Structures are given as C-alpha cells and as structure tokens.
Amino acid sequence: MGLDKRYLADVDLTATTSTGDPEGPNLEEHAPRDRAALDRELALLRGEVELPIPAASAVKIGGQRAYKLARRGIAVEMPLRRSLVHALDVIAYSGEGDTVNSVQLALHVSSGTYVRAIAHALGGHCTSLRRTAVGPFTVEEATSVEDALLMPIGAALERLHEAALERVPTEVRAGVLALEAAQGAAPGGSAA
C-alpha cells in the first residue's frame, strides 16, 4: 500500500556481508569508525537517497528472485532504488572513546526502503532489525496470534491517509462498505 515504515536496527560497522546481515559471509572487514565521520555519513543518508537493492532480496532479476540467484552464486548487478529517509537517528553508539564499532538506529523510511542497503552504505551490516510501525499501525498494538483481536476493516481503512486509500482497489472499498452495511454497522464502526 506504499505506507511508510519505522524500524530499529543494530548495525555492525566492522564488516560488510554478502547479505547485509550476519547470515552471509564477510566481504570486507573494517577498523572501528570515527564517530564524527560516521555522523557525517548518516547525514548524507537522510532525505531522498538512491541505493542498490540488496542481492539477498525478493526483487526479480530476469524473472528470478535475486536471493535465489545469490544462493546459487550468480552475481548480478542490482538496480538502484530511490527511497525517502524521513528520519535516521542514532539511539546508541558502541565503541571506545571517539571510535564506533556498532550503532543502534531508529529509522522512518518510505515503503520499499531496504535498511540493509543503508547499513551497507555505512560500511556495515544489520545484526538486528525490527519493524516497529507500518503507516499508522504500530508494534505496540500487536498481540500474539492466540490473543488476536481483528480490527474491523473499515476502522483500519479510516486510519490510512488519503494517498494510501487511493491505492486500495475500488472493489475492496465497495466490499467493506457492503459488508458493514450487511452487518448493520456504520462504516468504520465495529462489526457485530
């Protein structure tokens, strides 16, 4: 639906990997980073950025998923993707003195942004990545499968901004309204 996403990510700055996470082998190893230089690099990754899509992604290259090609050892030039990084904030630095081995980041990015690509641009890889929000829906609202309460579709649609609603197929919107009318609930109200 093209909704912005929010993440918390831990980035190891001492090595880049083939997958952008600990699963892939190291491509390069690095000495601890100067904190001031890292802050300058982070500033360049805010706003509109264009970064290569990670090889370990589901993007199709020549009709095949990139991650399947990568697993078979087939190297391909990955396309660039333009993204909007609304916020890229440091939560914590890890290292000694003015040098940094790893950093914890809070990110607010446009849909389609690869956080692993941002980590790679910093010369590192993600050691943990947690999505904390998709559009207006936050992880704090989440429950376990056993305790799940379904939000009425109309209520979910009401929380989306107009641009996202325009991407909801007309048939879905019409079906939601028809379903709610059949259940005797006002649009956006709770289902019986």
pLDDT (average), residues 174-178 = 61
Torsion of CA 45, 46, 51, 56, to 10 degrees: 90
pLDDT (average), residues 33-56 = 93
Q: Which range in 21-25, 117-121, 151-155 is most confidently predicted, on average pLDDT?
A: 117-121
Work out the mean pLDDT of the chain and round it to a whole number.
Answer: 85
Residue 43 has pLDDT above 80, yes or no: yes
Classify strands 102-109 and 80-94 as parallel, antiparallel or unpaired.
antiparallel
Select the more confidently predicted residue: 143 or 130.
130
For the chain, what is the radius of gyration of the CA atoms? 20
For residue 19, what pLDDT is reported? 84
| pTM for this prediction | 0.78
Domains, the chain, ranges and CATH? 5-137 (3.30.2350.10), 143-182 (no CATH)
The tokens for 170 are 């007309």
Q: What amino acid is encoded at 22 in this protein?
A: P
CB of 85 closer than 8 Å to CB of 93? no
pLDDT (average), residues 154-158 = 74
Distance CA 79, CA 51 (A): 8
- DSSP letter, residue 6: E
For residue 153, what pLDDT is reported? 73
Residue 191 has pLDDT above 50, yes or no: no
